[in-house]
Amino acid sequence: MEKLSSTGSFGGRVERYKHASATLNCDMEFGVYLPPQADTGPVPVLWWLSGLTCTDENFMQKAGAQRLAAQLGLAIVCPDTSPRGTDLPGEHDDWDFGSGAGFYVNATQAPWDRHYRMYDYVTKELPALVEANLPVTGQRAVSGHSMGGHGALLCALREPERYASVSAFAPICHPSDCPWGVKAFSHYLGDDRNDWRAWDATQLLTDVDIQLPILIDQGADDPFLGEQLKPGALEQAAICAHHPLEIRLREGYDHSYFFVASFIDDHLRHHAKALGLIASAD
């Protein structure tokens, strides 16, 4: 992998890298925050999955996570949100589909299946690359925002043994039943809705063996709350499956990174506790 930049931040470094992805069949860029503790030994990683229209840079520039990550000794890796440099029919026409909108699934439908395999990319290829080349351990936590919150829930519900903890900000909780999800899933996965179940947190949650407790923050003034995000569906599924889930509805907050930045420290502490970096998240 090629280092694109390295910038000091709270005693650590914000770095960006480029590499050729075999999973996605294209070149990709990603961002990483390495806390000062990474100078003397490997540190665990919070994997952050961003939302629609984002690149690897939105979270690093807007969430303000570096100050506390530096104190905790927690690295943060931000993948991009879709394959890049490709030019499939209609790929760049809409902000909620195609480029910037990979939805963290493995596409099965042509022409998307040649590139849009974001689940395998963020759970397998990129962790292997990062863990082989940067001063990090194989201990992982996962979080994300909106489409990335859906991605984080997928990681934790499909392969809970790979993660110590999970959280999400305003996740798309039931993509099979919202306009963003239906649009993406019909193109990437085809029209048979039985094939969507394995990529829908609300449906997956009923069959998991290892139950990672889920922490969610949701803005009460989020314009996408009722039509796209549907945390109530996930809450009902969690009650039926006795899956530990805490959803905190935040009055006065919307869907933006002002909301993410306001509560990111709580999430970092939640993950740091699960990773054994601190004794208590309070």
Ligand X SMILES: N[C@@H](CCC(=O)N[C@@H](CSC=O)C(=O)NCC(=O)O)C(=O)O
Minimal distance, residue 259 CB to ligand X, in Å: 10
Question: Can you tell me the distance from the alpha carbon of 72 to that of 99, in angstroms, rounded to the nearest whole number?
Answer: 34
183 lies in the site for ligand X, by CB under 6 A: no
Question: Can you tell me the distance from the alpha carbon of 111 to that of 109, in angstroms, rounded to the nearest whole number?
Answer: 6
Among 71, 146, 202, 218, binds ligand X (CB under 6 A): 146
Strands (E), the chain: 2-9, 12-21, 26-34, 43-49, 75-79, 136-144, 165-169, 214-219, 245-250
> For residue 175, which of 162, 165, 185, 161 has the smallest C-alpha distance?
185
Question: Can you tell me the distance from the alpha carbon of 266 to that of 63, in angstroms, rounded to the nearest whole number?
Answer: 12
Among 24, 34, 43, 52, binds ligand X (CB under 6 A): 52
User: Pattern of binders to ligand X over 184-213, x per CB under 6 A?
Assistant: ------------------------------
51 lies in the site for ligand X, by CB under 6 A: yes
Residues 233-272 that bind ligand X (CB under 6 A): 255-257
Question: Can you tell me the distance from the alpha carbon of 252 to that of 70, in angstroms, rounded to the nearest whole number?
Answer: 29
6 labelled catalytic: no
Q: Which tokens sit at 154? A: 């997928």
Minimal distance, residue 170 CB to ligand X, in Å: 8
Minimal distance, residue 224 CB to ligand X, in Å: 7
Point out the catalytic residue in the list 150, 255, 267, 271: 255
Please return the burial class of 67, using the count of CB atoms within 10 Å of its CB with bins 0-12, 13-18 and 19+.
middle
Q: Which listed range, 54-62, 194-202, 246-254, 273-281, lies at the site for ligand X (CB under 6 A)? A: 54-62
187 labelled catalytic: no
Q: Among residues 48 and 196, whose Cβ is nearest to ligand X?
A: 48
* Sequence-ordered list of residues with C-beta below 8 angstroms from that of 281, at least 6 positions apart, any chain: 266, 269, 270, 272, 273
Among 115, 145, 230, 267, binds ligand X (CB under 6 A): 145
Q: Which tokens sit at 223? A: 């314009």
146 labelled catalytic: yes
Point out the catalytic residue in the list 222, 262, 270, 271: 222
106 lies in the site for ligand X, by CB under 6 A: no
Among 27, 95, 206, 249, binds ligand X (CB under 6 A): 95
Among 38, 54, 65, 74, binds ligand X (CB under 6 A): 54
Q: Is 167 helix (H, G, I), strand (E, B) or coil?
A: strand
Site residues for ligand X per CB under 6 A? 51-54, 58, 62, 95, 145-147, 255-257
